[in-house]
Structure 1
Amino acid sequence: MKVLLVGGSSALAHAIRKPLSASAEVITAGRTECDIRLDIADISGAKLPSGIDAVINTAAAFAGSSVADLEQAAKANVLGPVSLMRLCEAAEVQQLVHISSIFAELATTSPFFGAYALSKRQAEEWLGLAAASSSVKVTVLRPSQFYGTGAFNRRHQPFLSTIIDRARKGEDIAIYGSNDALRNFIHVDDVAEVIVRSVRRQVAGTYRCVSQANLRYSDIAKAAIEAFSSQSTIRFLSDKPDIADNAFPPDETLYRLVDYFPQISFKRGMQMEAAATDGAAA
């Protein structure tokens, strides 16, 4: 099997490569540090290599709210996957696995709804229309917020990064407001394994890929403090605005299809982070 990994320099792509390489030839595509240069925001005129069996798209733009940011999000997150679908058809690729986001399910009234969530939702809708008349099998996976070991995996999780850094230094961890907000974090290695198995089994359709347990901010902080054997304390700043919950219900559908449930608890994930940090410092 030959698989093209688009967005090949992303944290998720790095996590996918090792388990995928055990059973497939992996070719990476992206703007930098990849086998093939491919800009998901502008792939007009591009062609896929011959003999590709499956394409996994991990590329995405994490846009702000300016007009330029919105334009970039539309190009990379909506038009990009649709154009990639066209390239898959031309190259007779059997399967396109598109990595969306659980944020695609957010209501427009959610404080976390924005260009990223909207563009991810629209991409799913366009790919659904395209798949109805295409020979390419389309798989859309919606992971919740994923994290991993090392700073490279934490660059899109600023609050989690702050908690980890403060716990490592033994500094107090302050949480705004009085609400002990809920979050859903899943380890990037678990997400990678689910994606690889979805390719091997040619799973089609749209599925959630979320942790089976939502965590409160205090639970997240406690796990980091314990992992680093830290003296940090947790404080709620009641004079600050409350932080809203952003939790998602558990869903076993995809895990049963691929015969794999997430294996890395958040506690274990923090232990892995602490071990890597101690090793780097030695």
Structure 2
Amino acid sequence: MRILMVGATSSLARALIPALSRFAEVLTAGRSNCDIQLDLAAPLDAVARLPQIDVLVNAAASFASSDPADIAAIERINALGTLELCQLCSAAAIPHMVQISSIFTTLPANSPFYSAYALSKRHADELAQLYCDKAGIALTIIRPSQFYGAGPAYRKHQPFLYALIDQVANNQDVSIYGSHDAQRNFIHVEDVARLTARAIEHGLTGNYACTQLHAVRYSDIIKAAASAFDSRSQMVFMRDKPDIPDNICAVDDTLFRLLDSYPEIPIEIGMEKEAAYRKSLT
């Protein structure tokens, strides 16, 4: 099997490539440092340079802000860029496309976490479903929740989580706005990569959530980090500030049941991996 990984320098793709390489040859595509230069912000002209490809995996995404000036740019990359990849599959006779989406596509417009990113990824999924259905291309959509991993590559998209870890690592108490112990659904990137690779290996098609089965509260994260870093840090509520709302999703284990494989890295082990990574740098 030969797989084309688009957005190959993204943090998720870097975890996914080794998982895919167990059973397939992986070619990388992206704006730089890849086997094939491909920029979703520009017209695609990579067809002539493509060898036979069995699966195209789209892990590229723009996380620009929801400022009015950025909305067109994020839609161009995430939605129209995905459509162009569908067209590339047709032109290059690639029979299977895998779209890495986001659980945020399920957010209602009145959610405090709704954004141009969530909307553009929803548009991307719908465009891919429409095109692939009409063109006879097999399609798999994987919708992970917020993922994290060991090292600085994940800080950009989870700045609050890693700022929290920094405080715990430095034996500082963690101040949380309000008095609500907010819930989150974090899944480790190694689980997302392993489960996505397994879905591709088994030729699974369809639209699937990929989330931890149990949400965690901020207090759970701080406790796990404190144990991993041997820290005395505790959580302190700033009760004069507004509460932080929950950001969780409905539990859907369909993907895991079909693959007979479930997430294996709870928050406690995830924090141990981050602590081990930081210790390796000293």
Kept in 1, the 8 Å contact 2:179–2:237? The answer is yes
Q: CA RMSD in A?
A: 1.1
Equivalent in the alignment of 1:55: 56
Equivalent in the alignment of 1:46: 46
What is the one-letter code of the residue matched to 2:36?
I
Task: Map Cα deviations across residues 12-43 of structure 1 (whole Å, 9 max, x no partner).
Answer: 01101111111111111111221111112223
Give the unaligned 5+ runs of structure 1. none
Instruction: Provide TM-score, normalisation by structure 1.
Output: 0.97
Q: Secondary structure at the match of 2:212?
A: coil
Equivalent in the alignment of 1:240: 241
Q: Secondary structure at the match of 1:202?
A: coil
The alpha-carbon deviation at position 123 of structure 1 amounts to: 0.9
Q: Secondary structure at the match of 2:140?
A: strand
Task: Map Cα deviations across residues 147-190 of structure 1 (whole Å, 9 max, x no partner).
Answer: 00011122210110111111111111111111111100000000
Task: Map Cα deviations across residues 195-222 of structure 1 (whole Å, 9 max, x no partner).
Answer: 1111111111111001001011111111
Q: Secondary structure at the match of 1:190?
A: helix
Kept in 2, the 8 Å contact 1:176–1:236? The answer is yes
The alpha-carbon deviation at position 278 of structure 1 amounts to: 1.0
Kept in 2, the 8 Å contact 1:42–1:75? The answer is no
Task: Map Cα deviations across residues 96-146 of structure 1 (whole Å, 9 max, x no partner).
Answer: 000110000000000000100100111111111112212210111110000
- Structure 2 Cα separation of the partners of residues 90 and 261 of structure 1: 36
Task: Map Cα deviations across residues 199-256 of structure 1 (whole Å, 9 max, x no partner).
Answer: 1111111110010010111111111111100011210101111111111122110112
Aligned residues: 281
Residue 30 in structure 1 maps to residue 47 in structure 2: no
Residue 187 in structure 1 maps to residue 188 in structure 2: yes
Structure 1 outlier segments of 4+, above 4 Å:
none
Equivalent in the alignment of 2:4: 4
What is the one-letter code of the residue matched to 2:215?
N
- Structure 2 Cα separation of the partners of residues 51 and 122 of structure 1: 28
Equivalent in the alignment of 1:128: 129
Kept in 2, the 8 Å contact 1:225–1:231? The answer is yes
Instruction: Provide TM-score, normalisation by structure 2.
Output: 0.97
Kept in 1, the 8 Å contact 2:222–2:233? The answer is no
Identity %: 47
Q: Secondary structure at the match of 2:236?
A: strand
- What does 1:56-95 align with in structure 2 at a 5 Å threshold? 56-95=57-96
- Structure 1 Cα separation of the partners of residues 149 and 195 of structure 2: 15
What is the one-letter code of the residue matched to 2:192?
V
What is the one-letter code of the residue matched to 2:157?
H
Give the unaligned 5+ runs of structure 2. none
Kept in 1, the 8 Å contact 2:66–2:117? The answer is no
